[in-house]
Amino acid sequence: MRRLSAIMFTDMVGYTALMQQDEHRAREVRDRHRSVLRESIEGHGGEIVQFYGDGTLSVFASAVDAVHAAVQIQRRLRRPPEIPVRIGLHVGDIVHDEDGVHGDGVNVAARVQGKALPGSVVLSGRVYEELRNHPEIPVVSLGDVRLKNVHQPMPLFAVSFPELVLPDPLSVRAEPRGPRRTLAVLPFVNMSSDPDNEFFADGVTEEIINALTRIEGLQVTARTSSFAFKGRNEDVRRIGAELGVSHVLEGSVRRAGERVRIAAQLIDTRDGYHVFSNVYDQVLEDVFEAQDEIARRITEELRATLPGVDRGPIVRRPTENREAHDLYLRGMHHWYRWTPDHVTEALQHYHEAVGLDPDFAQAHAGIAHAYVFLGATGRLACGNAYPRAKEAALRAIELDSSDWRSHAALGLVKLFYEWDFASAGTALREAVRLGPGASEAHNAYALYLLAVGRTDELVEESETALALDPLSPIMNEGLARSYLSARRPEEALAQFERTLALAPDFRAAAEGKGFAYLALERLDEAVEAMRAYKSMTPGGRGGQGPLGFVLGMAGRHEEARLMLDELLERERAEPNHNLHVDVAAVHVGLGELDAALERIERAAEARVGGLVFLRHGHSWDRLRADPRLDELLARYGI
Same domain, 233 and 127: no
Confidence category of residue 298, pLDDT binned at 50, 70, 90:
low
Q: Is residue 276 part of a domain?
A: yes
Distance, CA of 484 to CA of 387 (rounded, Å): 32
Distance, CA of 240 to CA of 98 (rounded, Å): 41
Indicate the range of 281-285, 347-351, 407-411, 483-487 predicted with least confidence: 281-285
* pLDDT value at 493 more than 90: yes
Question: Residue 67 has what pLDDT?
Answer: 97
Distance, CA of 326 to CA of 366 (rounded, Å): 14
Question: Residue 584 has what pLDDT?
Answer: 95
Distance, CA of 425 to CA of 421 (rounded, Å): 6
Residue type at position 399: L
Question: Residue 431 has what pLDDT?
Answer: 93
Mean pLDDT of all residues in 507-524 = 94
Indicate the range of 137-146, 174-183, 401-410, 463-472 predicted with least confidence: 174-183
- Final residue of a structural domain among 279, 295, 317: 317
Confidence category of residue 316, pLDDT binned at 50, 70, 90:
low
Name the burial class of residue 177, with classes exposed (0-12), middle (13-18) and buried (19+) by CB atoms within 10 angstroms of its CB.
Answer: exposed
Digit-coded pLDDT (tens) for 352-371: 999 999 998 989 999 998 99
Question: Residue 311 has what pLDDT?
Answer: 47
CA 148 centroid distance within chain: 28
Q: Is residue 607 part of a domain?
A: yes
- Can you give the residue range of the structural domain that contains 112? 2-173
Question: Residue 310 has what pLDDT?
Answer: 46
Distance, CA of 488 to CA of 485 (rounded, Å): 7
Question: Residue 226 has what pLDDT?
Answer: 85
Same domain, 122 and 196: no
Question: Residue 286 has what pLDDT?
Answer: 59
Question: Residue 91 has what pLDDT?
Answer: 93
Same domain, 128 and 71: yes
Name the burial class of residue 163, with classes exposed (0-12), middle (13-18) and buried (19+) by CB atoms within 10 angstroms of its CB.
Answer: exposed
The shares of helix, strand and coil residues in the chain, as percent rounded to the nearest 5, are 55, 15, 30
Confidence category of residue 539, pLDDT binned at 50, 70, 90:
confident
CB contact set of 587 (below 8 Å; sequence gap of 6+):
564, 593, 595, 596, 599
Question: Residue 145 has what pLDDT?
Answer: 85
Question: Residue 227 has what pLDDT?
Answer: 82
| Integer angstrom CA distances of residue 145 from 90, 112, 156, 171, 590 | 14, 9, 7, 10, 41
Contact 454, 486 (CB under 8 A): no
Same domain, 10 and 142: yes
Mean pLDDT of all residues in 182-205 = 81
- Final residue of a structural domain among 151, 173, 195: 173
Same domain, 57 and 141: yes
Q: Is residue 504 part of a domain?
A: no
Helix-helix angle 23-43:63-77, to 10 degrees: 150
Confidence category of residue 420, pLDDT binned at 50, 70, 90:
very high
Indicate the range of 11-15, 98-102, 378-382 predicted with least confidence: 98-102
Contact 400, 361 (CB under 8 A): yes
* pLDDT value at 500 more than 50: yes
Pairing of strands 189-190, 182-185: unpaired
Confidence category of residue 99, pLDDT binned at 50, 70, 90:
low
CB contact set of 222 (below 8 Å; sequence gap of 6+):
209, 437, 438, 439, 440, 468, 469, 472, 475
| Integer angstrom CA distances of residue 40 from 62, 67, 72, 551 | 14, 11, 6, 44
Contact 496, 516 (CB under 8 A): yes
Same domain, 572 and 593: yes
Indicate the range of 230-244, 345-359, 381-395 predicted with least confidence: 230-244
* pLDDT value at 306 more than 60: no
Contact 160, 117 (CB under 8 A): no
Digit-coded pLDDT (tens) for 278-292: 777 767 665 566 666
Question: Residue 37 has what pLDDT?
Answer: 94
Helix-helix angle 507-519:473-485, to 10 degrees: 20
Phi, psi of 191 (to 5 degrees): -100, 10
Question: Residue 600 has what pLDDT?
Answer: 94
Pairing of strands 182-185, 247-256: parallel
Same domain, 231 and 122: no
CA 183 centroid distance within chain: 17
The domain that holds 51 is classified in CATH as: 3.30.70.1230
Per the prediction, the chain carries an average pLDDT of 85
Mean pLDDT of all residues in 77-105 = 83
Phi, psi of 164 (to 5 degrees): -95, 155
Distance, CA of 573 to CA of 562 (rounded, Å): 17
**Radius of gyration from C-alpha coordinates of the chain:** 27
User: What domain count does the chain have?
Assistant: 3
Same domain, 123 and 248: no
Mean pLDDT of all residues in 209-231 = 80
Phi, psi of 285 (to 5 degrees): -60, -25
Distance, CA of 206 to CA of 56 (rounded, Å): 43
Distance, CA of 444 to CA of 421 (rounded, Å): 13
Same domain, 150 and 190: no
CB contact set of 247 (below 8 Å; sequence gap of 6+):
181, 182, 183, 184, 240, 266, 267, 268, 269, 275, 298, 302
Helix-helix angle 473-485:439-452, to 10 degrees: 20
Same domain, 148 and 188: no
The domain that holds 291 is classified in CATH as: 3.40.50.10610
Closest CA to 281 of 262, 296, 265: 262
Digit-coded pLDDT (tens) for 108-157: 898 899 889 889 999 999 999 899 889 899 998 888 888 876 767 788 99
Question: Residue 179 has what pLDDT?
Answer: 44
Question: Residue 430 has what pLDDT?
Answer: 94
Mean pLDDT of all residues in 415-425 = 92
DSSP string covering 392-428, please? HHHHHHHH-TT-HHHHHHHHHHHHHTS--HHHHHHHH
What is the DSSP-derived secondary structure letter of residue 182?
E
The domain that holds 595 is classified in CATH as: 1.25.40
Closest CA to 411 of 383, 454, 440, 437: 440
Q: Is-cis flag, bond preceding 470, omega within 30?
A: no
Question: Residue 154 has what pLDDT?
Answer: 86
Q: Is residue 450 part of a domain?
A: no
Q: Per DSSP, what are the bridge partners of residue 316?
A: none
Digit-coded pLDDT (tens) for 32-57: 899 999 999 999 999 998 876 577 89
Question: Residue 315 has what pLDDT?
Answer: 54
Region of residue 295 (phi > 0: left; psi between -120 and 50: alpha; otherwise: beta): alpha
Name the burial class of residue 562, with classes exposed (0-12), middle (13-18) and buried (19+) by CB atoms within 10 angstroms of its CB.
Answer: middle
Phi, psi of 591 (to 5 degrees): 80, 15
* pLDDT value at 101 more than 90: no
Q: Is residue 204 part of a domain?
A: yes
* pLDDT value at 307 more than 50: no
- Final residue of a structural domain among 294, 317, 340: 317
DSSP string covering 42-59, please? HHTT-EEEEEETTEEEEE
Distance, CA of 60 to CA of 5 (rounded, Å): 6
Same domain, 279 and 200: yes
Distance, CA of 56 to CA of 402 (rounded, Å): 54
Greater confidence, 448 or 253?
448
Question: Residue 308 has what pLDDT?
Answer: 45
